[in-house]
A and B are shown apart, each in its own frame.
Chain A
């Protein structure tokens, strides 16, 4: 059974790279890419429930922090593990982000490292 990863990032190129890269090296992962918080909620509101959300912090309009809070507000989405993804290396964001999220990955990253980190989270969550 494939694990569904929902990538929320306004950078379309990154969305393409992550989807193709991850799906190529791990046939048990399926990546759905959306490019804003709004699209993320549209996808979820349609009844889709991903196994993990890879969430960029720095996005226009609704940033990753707000998306995170809104996801945690709803019972039906609260248990979906969330991994923060950001280019920001400021230790404040990283430190605070680490507390309630499952993991925190800084850009740029190696696709193999990303695969490893996501699989660790998936294993912890679903066994």
Chain B
């Protein structure tokens, strides 16, 4: 029999894990846990990014997981360390669901994978499931109850303080309640968070996270808090100098930051998604050009024009692989454009250069009107986005100068007519 590749082994391990966890909970819950653990391990084992979990497909269980064959190139030693950590973290995250029998059954499932020599390969790397079985019994007796409700209360209080920096008190309370309600759809246990809509006699709004929350698996508490913080950070109009996430950390304080960390909430993971908004900037630029071209032509044509510009630039700008235009939906205007959030990871200057080139190409045939196109573009996109463009090096000043130089006299535009 041929030796199994890394991707085949990991696929079998995942199937065993999800199958066993799923029997005790549900398969979709198993995938959520698995997704959280994999994300937590990626900083340590970069190659785990080759395991893709479609969060829109959680409910499809194991079908939501796919493994790229790129993982086959990883050295044997590194690969087994990753499996060891993966199994350990899963068991840790399962808490009360990872009982004695779970570990036993899981060990048996892994034993069925002949190529994965439990006794030699994994034990050598420090994963001894038999020992883990034994430790489970001891730990259970020693383990003190974790107080999640206190952490949750402080996270919500901190978020409220930050929201209150931009909204009045009553609106702050309504806003935070809405953010929590939104998360409740995915994490029903958040119903145990009670916030008073009116201030008490001392003038404070009560925020109570009930004790019932302490019975919820930590992995779910962690994911719900991470989602909540991210959602607030992305959706409130935070215009302070300090990044939202940094302000959150300062306000929460070191003690609770540590408690959050122990709970598995990785705030560093949030930073790029809140801070970087290249996807939004590029979309705004494209929308602005489309709107300007639409005024002179039509909605459908303006998107064909953008498509044509991007196609011309694709060879030169690798980052355009993150921008797709559905050619069968030209008539739907900007809705035909899809920008992958992977663009948020590109070097800012690359995006800046691309934006300048798109604008340059859009106006290059406009002759005398080129100057006005840039002027109209600036006026329409507004100061906020011009500043953001400026930050990534998409300063339009040079383009303006280029066209100003071409003209000896600035033409005057009345309607669509030009007068020199």
Contacts and interface: CB of A to CB of B under 8 A. Distances in A.
A73 B363 CA distance: 24
Interface in B343-364: 361-364
Main secondary structure of the interface of A (DSSP, over half): helix
A96 interface: yes
A55 to B, nearest CB: 11
Given A92-B416, A99-B305, A65 B300 contact: yes
Contact of B365 (A68, A78, A94): A94
Main secondary structure of the interface of B (DSSP, over half): helix
B402 to A, nearest CB: 15
Give the one of A72, A92, A98 with max B CB within 10 A. A92
Interface string A78-100: 10000000000011111111111
Contacts of A38: none
B298 A91 contact: no
A60 B110 CA distance: 72
B366 A68 contact: no
Interface residues of B, number: 33
A100 B366 CA distance: 14
Contact of A69 (B298, B365, B370, B417): B298
A63 interface: yes
B367 interface: yes
A91 B369 contact: yes
Contact of B304 (A72, A74, A92, A94): A72
Given A92-B369, A100-B307, A100-B308, A73 B362 contact: no
B5 to A, nearest CB: 38
A42 interface: no
A28 interface: no
List 4 tightest A-B contacts by C-beta distance, closest first. Answer: A69-B300, A95-B365, A100-B308, A65-B301
Interface of B: 293, 296-305, 307-309, 327-331, 361-370, 373, 416-418
